[in-house]
Amino acid sequence: MPSELTLLEFLRNRLYLTGTKEGCGIGECGACTVLLDEKPVTACLVLAVEVDGCIVETVEGEATGGQLSVLQRAFVETGAVQCGFCTPGMIMSARGLLRRNPNPSDEEIVEAMAGNLCRCTGYEAILAAVRRAAAAVRPAVGPLAGEVGLADGRSLRGAVPKRDPEKGGRR
Amino acid sequence: MLGRFDYERPTSLAEAARLLTECGSSAAVLAGGTDLLVDLRAGRRIVRLLVGVKRIDALRRLDVDSAGELTIGAAVPLNEMIERAAIRRTHPGLVQAAESIATYQLRNRATAVGNLCNASPAADMAPILLALGACLIAWSPRGERTIPLSSLFVGVKKTCLAPDEIATELRVPAPEPGLRSRFLKQQRLRGHDLAVSSAAGTYAPSTGVLRLAVGSCAPTPLLLEPIEVGRSSRAAVEEKAVRAVQVAMRPISDTRASADYRRAVLPVLVKRLVADLLAEGGAP
Residues B62, B152: one domain?
Answer: yes
Q: What is the CATH number of the domain that holds B110?
A: 3.30.465.10
Cβ-defined contact of B108 to A39 (cutoff 8 Å) = yes
ipTM: 0.95
B133 is a domain residue: yes
Mark which of B172, B204, B238 sits at the end of a domain. B172
Our CA-based measurement puts residue B32 at a distance from the nearest CA of chain A, in whole angstroms, of: 8
Report chain A's terminal Cα–Cα distance, integer Å: 48
Residues of B in contact with A6 (CB under 8 A): 1-2, 37
Residues B167, B187: one domain?
Answer: no
* Domain that residue B116 falls in: 58-172
Residues B227, B270: one domain?
Answer: yes
Q: What is the mean pLDDT of residues A81-87?
A: 98
Mark which of B138, B156, B172 sits at the end of a domain. B172
Per-residue pLDDT of chain B (284 residues; tens, 9 = 90+): 899 999 999 999 999 999 998 998 899 999 999 999 999 999 999 999 999 999 999 999 999 998 899 999 999 999 999 999 999 999 999 999 999 999 999 999 999 999 999 999 999 999 999 999 999 999 998 899 999 999 999 999 999 999 889 999 999 999 999 999 999 999 998 889 999 999 999 999 999 999 999 999 999 999 999 999 999 999 999 999 999 999 999 999 999 999 999 999 999 999 999 999 999 766 77
B250 is a domain residue: yes
Is the pLDDT assigned to residue A165 strictly greater than 70? Answer: no
Domain boundaries, chain A: 1-61
Domains in chain B, number = 3
DSSP conformational letter for A140: P
What digits encode the pLDDT tens for the residues A59-78? 999 999 999 999 999 999 99
B266 is a domain residue: yes
CATH topology of domain A1-61: Ubiquitin-like (UB roll) (3.10.20)
Query: Residues near B67 by Cβ (< 8 Å), separated by ≥ 6?
Result: B174
Residues of B in contact with A47 (CB under 8 A): 7, 30, 33, 37, 50
Cβ-defined contact of A25 to B1 (cutoff 8 Å) = yes
Cβ-defined contact of B103 to A50 (cutoff 8 Å) = no
Residues B222, B265: one domain?
Answer: yes
Residues B23, B116: one domain?
Answer: no
Cβ-defined contact of A41 to B108 (cutoff 8 Å) = yes
Residues B211, B251: one domain?
Answer: yes
Residues B11, B114: one domain?
Answer: no
The whole-model pTM stands at 0.91
Q: Which pLDDT does position A140 carry in this prediction?
A: 54
3-state SS, A15-69, equals CCCCCCCCCCCCCCCCCCEEEECCEEEEHHHCEHHHHCCCCEECHHHCCECCECC
What digits encode the pLDDT tens for the residues A125-159? 999 999 999 999 876 544 434 444 444 444 444 43
Cβ-defined contact of B34 to A50 (cutoff 8 Å) = no
Please give the interface size between A and B, counted as residue pairs whose CB atoms are below 8 Å apart: 84
B255 is a domain residue: yes
C-alpha–C-alpha distance, residues B114 and B76, integer Å: 10
B1 is a domain residue: no
Residues B130, B31: one domain?
Answer: no
Cα–Cα nearest to A20, from A38, A37, A42: A42
